Amino acid sequence: MPVHVRTGDTVMVTAGNDKGAVGEILTVLTKKDRVVVKGVNIRTRNIKPTQQNPTGGTIKKEMSIHMSNVSPLIDGKPARVRFETQKGGTKVRIGVIVDDKGKKTEKVLGEVHSASARPSGK
């Protein structure tokens, strides 16, 4: 299944405890269909004392959330993503938002594959 978000995308959380939060994707875990978003789903971890850190203590760390709970942002609004092959053979991600009046706004989010990297259709 194609992944609608990539590392470095700015996304909005659309479901869960952090609904409405905006952050940048730090990591995409493709095998588990999860993403780590900066500043979202922060958990506190206890650290045992070690020679490098003799006092131990706690750290705050971003944990992963399911990628279906995030949407890329276009003009400050969460967008749906579709994939399209252009005439030159380049496959791109296109974000689509619909305003209150039903007007669609589309924006190319990035290139998925260049024409030279795609296999020929035999």
CA distances from 63 to 16, 28, 29, 56, 66 (A): 13, 12, 11, 21, 10
- pLDDT single digits (tens) 28-47: 999 999 999 999 999 999 99
Q: Which helix (H) or strand (E) holds 57?
A: strand 57-62
Q: For the chain, which residues make up each domain, given as ranges?
A: 10-46+54-113
CB 111 within 8 A of CB 90: yes
Query: Is the per-residue pLDDT at 116 higher than 80?
Result: no
- pLDDT single digits (tens) 3-37: 888 899 899 999 999 999 999 999 999 999 999 99
pLDDT above 90: percentage of residues in the chain: 52
Q: Mention every residue, 6+ apart, whose C-beta is less than 8 A from residue 89.
A: 115, 118
DSSP 8-state code for residue 75? T
Candidate CATH numbers 3.50.30.60, 3.90.1300.10, 3.10.110.10, 2.30.30.30; the one for domain 10-46+54-113:
2.30.30.30
- Number of C-alpha atoms within 13 angstroms, CB side, residue 7? 5
What is the pLDDT at residue 95? 87
